[in-house]
Structures are given as C-alpha cells and as structure tokens.
C-alpha cells in the first residue's frame, strides 16, 4: 500500500471514530454519572491534533465541535470555533514547547475542556447575573470538564496506536 493510501485510510479511520464518538456522546444516559455526561469528541480531536499537527488537528477539532453543536444547546458554531482554537493551540504547544506524552495530552485536554466550559458558562449563564449561579458551575461545568478529560487517556492510546500502525 502506498504512503498516500495509508494516510487517507488513517484519516478516514480517525473520522469514523469521531463520528462514532459523536453518536455515543448524544446517546441519552450513556456513561452518565450523577447526571454528568462526558463530551467525547473534543478530547478525541485534541488527541488527534497532538499526534498529527495543527492543520489536521484544527480540521478534526472544528468537526468535533460542530458535532457537539448539533447535539447541544449552545449557539451553533460556538463549540466548533472554540474546539478548533483549542486543537490548533494544543498542537502548536506540543510542536514548540511540550513533549508528546500522555500526561501532556491529558493536561491539554483538561485545559481545553475547562476553557470551553468557562466560556460556555459565562456566555450563557454568568453574564445574566443570576443568583447562586456558581453552584451550576461547580456541579455541572467542572465535573463535565474533568470527566471528559479523563477519557483522553483512552483516546490518546487508541489514536497513537492507529498512527504507529499506519506509519510503520
């Protein structure tokens, strides 16, 4: 198999996994713990960004964010834009400043999910001045970010295995 065909097949496999994760993410009650549902697509796309670089990472993160927008309550495009910026930033951080290790990926995914959660919280709740809105932040936004970032370990191992399989 030629190098080009391997690359195309690798990206098609990445895409199918992201679509499968989007379906699982929007399945009611799937891996829900105490009312907290994880977001699968954004941490998975950030793992791809770390492994494949900023261009592919930006595309996969934007697509993953748009999958979140389709099944979420935010304004359409919010998650797509934020995820794309987080994916490109994560890829550039790994290229120029960080080593490509599991702990780096977990921290980058946690940071991305926290930034996404904080932006979402302040844009949709915090700016309106509701009383005791910080309870929603502590009981919903933070647990979703941590729970979602925890899955980045599995995603990184999976995508690293796929990448090494197609580059060998």
Q: What SS3 string covers the chain?
A: CCHHHHHHHHHHHHHHHHHHHHHHHCCCCCCCECCECCCCHHHHHHHHHHHHCHHHHHHHHHHHHHHHHHHCCCCCCHHHHHHHHHHHHHHHHHHHCCCCCHHHHHHHHHHHHHHHHHHHHHHHCHHHCCCCCHHHHHHHHHHHHHHHHHCHHHHHHHHHHHHHHHHC
Q: Provide, rounded to the nearest whole percent, the portion of the chain with pLDDT above 70.
A: 99
* pLDDT at residue 56 greater than cutoff 90: yes
Residue-level pLDDT at 168 = 67
Q: Where are the domains of the chain?
A: 3-167
Selected from 2.160.10.10, 3.90.1170.40, 1.10.1760.20, 1.10.510.10, the CATH number assigned to the domain covering 3-167 reads 1.10.1760.20
Average pLDDT over all residues of the chain: 91
Residue-level pLDDT at 108 = 96
* pLDDT at residue 65 greater than cutoff 80: yes
Its sign, for the CA torsion 114, 81, 22, 6, is negative
Indicate the range of 18-22, 130-134, 145-149 predicted with least confidence: 130-134
* pLDDT at residue 34 greater than cutoff 90: no
Greater confidence (6 vs 17) lies with 17
Structure tokens at 84: 């794309």
Residue-level pLDDT at 67 = 93
Contacts for 57-66: CB closer than 8 Å, 24+ residues apart: 57/87, 57/88, 57/90, 57/91, 58/84, 58/87, 58/88, 58/91, 60/14, 60/15, 60/18, 60/87, 61/86, 61/87, 61/88, 62/87, 63/15, 63/18, 64/18, 64/21, 64/22, 65/41
pTM listed for this prediction? 0.90
* pLDDT at residue 14 greater than cutoff 90: yes
């Amino acid at each position: 198999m030629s190098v080009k065909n391997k690359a195309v097949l690798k990206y098609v496999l990445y895409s199918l996994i992201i679509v499968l994760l989007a379906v699982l993410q929007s399945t009611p009650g799937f891996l829900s713990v105490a009312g907290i549902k994880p977001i699968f697509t954004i941490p998975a796309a950030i793992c791809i960004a770390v492994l494949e670089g900023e261009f592919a990472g930006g595309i996969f993160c934007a697509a993953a964010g748009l999958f979140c927008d389709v099944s979420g309550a935010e304004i359409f495009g919010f998650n797509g834009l934020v995820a794309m910026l987080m994916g490109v930033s994560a890829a550039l951080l790994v290229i120029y400043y960080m080593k490509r290790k599991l702990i780096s990926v977990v921290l980058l995914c946690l940071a991305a999910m926290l930034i996404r959660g904080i932006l979402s919280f302040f844009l949709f709740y915090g700016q309106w001045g509701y009383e005791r809105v910080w309870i929603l932040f502590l009981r919903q936004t933070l647990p979703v970010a941590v729970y979602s970032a925890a899955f980045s370990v599995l995603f990184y191992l999976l995508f690293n295995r796929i990448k090494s399989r197609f580059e060998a």
